[in-house]
Structure 1
Amino acid sequence: MAERVKVTIDGISIEVDAGTTILNAARLIGGDIVPPAMCYYSKLEGSGGKCRTCLVKVSKGSDKDPRPMPKLIASCRTGVMDGMEVQNITSPEVVEARKGIVEMLLLNHPLDCPICDQAGECKLQDLGYEHGSEGTRYEFERRTFEKIDIGDKIQLHMTRCILCYRCVYVADQITDHREHGILGRGDASEISTYIEKAIDNDFSGNVIDVCPVGALTDKTFRFKNRVWFTKPVDAHCDCDKCSGKVTLWYKGEEVLRVTARKDVNGEVESFICNTCRFERKNTSEWTIEGPRKISHHSVISSNHYELANPPAVIRKNPALKEANIEEFERVTRH
């Protein structure tokens, strides 16, 4: 059996396997003590350590060496030690540092929320709301880029990018070949392809799902609707390329988009192929499982699952409606 170690985060203790990072230990506890993460993705090897939003304070290194770590450390890259004590939201130093990180991420980020398709699902919006300042001290001209199409289904809006590298790792690890990457250095760095070479393979659409901001968007969904006006429904199909487990986003009886399902940490549970994502937008092509569970803290839960007005596909299937009445009522109560 794997060695178990005890770590205490914001006064809450938990035993985890040796080698577990502080961030993943906090995720096992759950709640408000989980540090935010813009670049780390548990399913992508090598991710993390770039955005610095997950910085925490280690007030006690371990039982063997109780000295505190001299600086704030990235929780996504630091493994726990037996007896380690960590401060996240209970440390004023961490809260202030996170405020500075958010300010830095927003230096060049445009105020596109009113027209950005990522609005309502944007992790940078969440960070700005929780840790951002009312104003900015930045007085210089923001960097801008032209929008480019990287394939016929994906648009890259580099002006919004925070260089988290997630899309690069996805292309490296779950597709046959990668056509895009980081060009330039320093403040001239950007995600791009040489001579706008198209990204075209069966799993390229997953770069959209892992992008934490609105830099990579689905061209088949752009400007069609606000996400909080749509109703997400879990569905599956028999697919020879991927698991076929998806979330369908309805407006009335129309499927506006198809995405991979995400877990409580906002990470894709199982990557899906482009056929499921872009080409199967008819209800008849799917087996409907029921309404997607959405946290009542999310703006996406607005207008969802009211018992008197469920998604059309649920309303037309009495068996599904009856099976999900308890879920309808639970969400409505919140």
Structure 2
Amino acid sequence: MADNIKVTIDNITIDVAPGTTILEAARQIGGEVAPPTMCYYSKLKGSGGKCRTCLVEVSKGSEKDPRPMPKLVASCRTGVMDGMEVKSMTSDKVIDARKGVTEFLLLNHPLDCPVCDQAGECHLQDLSYENGSADTRFEFERRTFEPEDIGPNIQLHMNRCIMCFRCVFTADQLTNTREHGILDRGDHARISTCISKALDNEFIGNVIDVCPVGALTDKTFRFKNRVWFTKPVDAHRDCPTCSGKARLWMRGEEVFRVTARKDEWGEVEEWICNTCRFETKDAKDWVVEGPTKVNRHSVISQGHYAGKVGTAKQPVLIDKVIGKQPKLTFDIHSESEVNKPNIHLSQIEGPAHSDDFNTPG
């Protein structure tokens, strides 16, 4: 076995196996060092190299050839060399390039986040929040497509598609009868079933999980709830077709949707079948293992408590915070003198009015 090689990314040096890409090495470091991705998917052969969101700067090629690479490179397609030095978040060129790529991805993307079922867990939302601009320079008519029915369970919204090709690779590698693909070229390229066939393979529902935007969504969940109002829990069942390990999105005792479990990079851990995804929406069909560990920066975590709520002073049980009258977890008057100090918000009957918050003269 060949010896490991050293690579430095954002001034952090690690040992990786030969053949490792820069993106894989950066993910081993974790955090903001890892470049964002929209098309790369580690479990899909042939993915990557299309969206250009993972661009990095190679400031040193290797120990043998220390010359920097003349242009930014796609980290998902570039292998590491011994002694290589890479800049991701520490490079102004990379930051500027990601802003440009984000702008291109948003050129034709409709601004329908308020009605999109992907809102709250959309990778394009995250990318635009971190690297996007507050306004657009695009002055022309956006590209649009006619609605197309591709089956009873999957909704295709081609206007939102960014042509990452993840769904095509998923259908090609998980199913025996792939019925959809990429039609036309350039600005007219689109995902379609070509002859209007329904996507009904037993594992075709996984195209929903791999889609980074709202182009492919679950019809059984469509417009039923916002993802941040639901509580994700890990559960399993005895399934003869797949592993039966899934994630339930619940509100109370009701299961609103079922998805595959995903890792910290938003990639599916184990593929699930259509039966688990679309036909087992009753809590009694599953053995609940416990609440899903949610990244605290995710909007989903806003209502995802694990028994306690952190406060400025000490953890407080939820039933102490939520009661008939609102109770504050800290006194805002001790931090600010903007409002009248003799007004205690927790003692106001009903909605507060402007007279309660007049700034003292």
Q: Does TM, normalized by the shorter one, top 0.5?
A: yes
Alignment match, 2:12: 12
1:103-252 map, 5 Å = 103-252=103-252
Q: Distance in 1 between matches of 2:203 and 2:237?
A: 17
Q: Does the 8 Å contact 1:242/1:273 carry over to 2?
A: yes
Alignment match, 2:261: 261
Over residues 103-155 of structure 1, what are the superposed CA-to-partner deviations in whole Å (9 max), with x where a residue is unaligned? 00000000010000000000000010000011111111001112222111001
The number of aligned residues is 312
SS of the residue corresponding to residue 268 of structure 1 reads coil
Alignment match, 1:286: 286
Alignment match, 1:321: none
Which residues of structure 2 form unaligned runs of 5+?
Answer: 310-317, 319-328, 330-361
SS of the residue corresponding to residue 143 of structure 1 reads coil
Q: Distance in 1 between matches of 2:307 and 2:43?
A: 36
Code of the aligned partner of 1:5: I
Q: Distance in 2 between matches of 1:4 and 1:138?
A: 47
Alignment match, 1:33: 33
Q: Distance in 1 between matches of 2:48 and 2:31?
A: 21
Q: Does the 8 Å contact 1:291/1:305 carry over to 2?
A: no
Code of the aligned partner of 1:224: K
- What TM-score results when the alignment is normalised by the length of structure 2? 0.85
Over residues 212-248 of structure 1, what are the superposed CA-to-partner deviations in whole Å (9 max), with x where a residue is unaligned? 0000000000000000000001000111111110000
RMSD in angstroms over aligned alpha carbons? 1.5
Q: Distance in 2 between matches of 1:224 and 1:157?
A: 17
Q: Does the 8 Å contact 1:147/1:155 carry over to 2?
A: no
- What TM-score results when the alignment is normalised by the length of structure 1? 0.91
SS of the residue corresponding to residue 121 of structure 1 reads coil
- 1:61/1:152 CA distance change after superposition, 3 Å: same
SS of the residue corresponding to residue 221 of structure 1 reads coil
Q: Distance in 2 between matches of 1:12 and 1:114?
A: 39
Alignment match, 1:307: 307
Q: Does the 8 Å contact 1:237/1:287 carry over to 2?
A: yes
Q: Distance in 2 between matches of 1:105 and 1:243?
A: 35
Q: Distance in 2 between matches of 1:177 and 1:300?
A: 35
Code of the aligned partner of 2:47: S
Q: CA deviation at 1:306?
A: 4.8
Code of the aligned partner of 2:192: S
Q: CA deviation at 1:3?
A: 3.0
Q: Distance in 2 between matches of 1:172 and 1:3?
A: 35
Q: Distance in 1 between matches of 2:144 and 2:216?
A: 15
Q: CA deviation at 1:251?
A: 1.2
Over residues 38-62 of structure 1, what are the superposed CA-to-partner deviations in whole Å (9 max), with x where a residue is unaligned? 0000000000000000000000000
| Structure exhibiting the larger radius of gyration computed from Cα positions | 2
Q: CA deviation at 1:195?
A: 2.7
Code of the aligned partner of 1:18: P
Q: 2:96 matched to 1:96?
A: yes
Q: Distance in 1 between matches of 2:283 and 2:213?
A: 28
Q: Distance in 1 between matches of 2:72 and 2:308?
A: 50
SS of the residue corresponding to residue 114 of structure 2 reads coil
Q: Distance in 2 between matches of 1:176 and 1:226?
A: 34
SS of the residue corresponding to residue 95 of structure 1 reads helix
- 1:11/1:308 CA distance change after superposition, 3 Å: closer
Code of the aligned partner of 2:177: H
Alignment match, 2:341: none
Which residues of structure 1 form unaligned runs of 5+?
Answer: 310-327
Q: Does the 8 Å contact 1:243/1:272 carry over to 2?
A: yes
